[in-house]
Amino acid sequence: MYRGDLISRITATSMFAAGSRDLNLTSFNSADKATNLQRARTKVLEASKAGAKLIVLPECFNSPYGTQFFPKYAEKLLPSPPSSDDSPSFHALSAVAKEANAFLIGGSIPEYSPETEKYYNTSLTFSPSGALIATHRKTHLFDIDIPGKIKFKESDVLSPGNKVTIVDIPEYGKVGIAICYDVRFPELAMIAARKGCFALIYPGAFNMTTGPLHWSLQARARAMDNQVYVALCSPARDMEATYHAWGHSLVADPNAEVLAEMDEKEGIAYVELNGEKIDDIRRGIPIYSQRRFDVYPDISEGKVKYEE
């Protein structure tokens, strides 16, 4: 049995968790980092009190979403920062995971790496002891230009990560973690699923153009192809912000049915994740074991950069 919660609110943060009510989704955001961190803490604790053991926040939950904001909000990831200003989000997430006694996939935050001297869009996952157990840097940067609708170029400021990220959650199993635009690349999802993940979790912030078209479809497609749970956790929509997030945090099951979908406002969704359902779906429609690797290659084998 897998459980999770997802929470969302206004500005740019969402999270989900798994626990006694398997999956919770929460989203929220504002321009003030301290306010966002405080809000995240409140919602994570609310989810954990409701029984969540795995909690997820949204993409860029501590900042507005936009290339103009990333350098200002970026943090170094220092486990022992010389000053409390250096890694506030890292330490706030670690502390609240411990306080909630839950696994926390901390959405994503703008990161600055002194080693590479580059910026990244980075997701940090913490164990119930507050230990950092996974780091995923957005691998596919969101560079799009739909005339008259939306132009966005993360690569103006950010650099991409370069691996598939899998984290083993004791008592639940392996979870694949990626960020937003990464969901559009089925290879990443398929590799994580074939490496044994039962759920793929994407903090993400689609927008008013791509959200209605593709948000739910992407989640359901990745779930259907791989017969796993897929969760997308968005910031709530803030029409005062420069980027209008679609919201609609959701969880699709291994049969590609949407188990829970929020609206554009802040909230928490709770979903029960059941491992037996994966087995049932794979028994009924056995594509998982009918692949023809004698005809085409298994992309999860061979040269894949991944980290468990």
Ligand X SMILES: NC(=O)CC(=O)C(=O)O
Which residues does the annotation mark as catalytic? 59, 138, 180
Cβ nearer to ligand X, comparing 172 with 206: 206
Q: How many Å apart are CA 201 and CA 204, to the nearest integer?
A: 9
Our finding on whether 205 is near ligand X (CB under 6 A) is: yes
Provide the minimum distance between the beta carbon of 282 and ligand X in the complex, in angstroms, as a whole number. Answer: 28
Q: Tokens for 182, please give them.
A: 């990464």
Provide the minimum distance between the beta carbon of 182 and ligand X in the complex, in angstroms, as a whole number. Answer: 8
Q: How many Å apart are CA 78 and CA 254, to the nearest integer?
A: 37
Of 180, 241, 259, 271, the one binding ligand X by CB under 6 A:
180
Cβ nearer to ligand X, comparing 222 with 277: 222
The residues near 286 (Cβ < 8 Å, ≥ 6 apart) are none
Residue facing ligand X at closest CB distance: 210
Interactions with ligand X, residue window 211-240 (CB under 6 A): 214
Our finding on whether 142 is near ligand X (CB under 6 A) is: yes
How many residues of this chain bind ligand X (CB under 6 A)? 9
Our finding on whether 61 is near ligand X (CB under 6 A) is: no
Cβ nearer to ligand X, comparing 127 with 210: 210
Residue 125 · residue 167 · CB < 8 Å: yes
Cβ nearer to ligand X, comparing 45 with 144: 144
Our finding on whether 103 is near ligand X (CB under 6 A) is: no
Q: How many Å apart are CA 76 and CA 200, to the nearest integer?
A: 26
Residue 222 · residue 190 · CB < 8 Å: no
Q: Which residues pair with 273 in a beta bridge?
A: 2
Cβ nearer to ligand X, comparing 206 with 270: 206
Our finding on whether 250 is near ligand X (CB under 6 A) is: no
The burial class, CB within 10 Å (0-12 / 13-18 / 19+), for 201 is buried
Our finding on whether 188 is near ligand X (CB under 6 A) is: no
What's phi and psi for 242, nearest 5 deg? -75, -25
Helix 88-100 × helix 33-49 angle, to 10°: 10
Our finding on whether 206 is near ligand X (CB under 6 A) is: yes
Our finding on whether 172 is near ligand X (CB under 6 A) is: no
Our finding on whether 200 is near ligand X (CB under 6 A) is: no
Q: Tokens for 230, please give them.
A: 């897929």
**How many other C-beta atoms can be found within 10 angstroms of the C-beta atom of residue 67?**
17
Chain residues binding ligand X by CB under 6 A are 142, 180-181, 184, 205-207, 210, 214
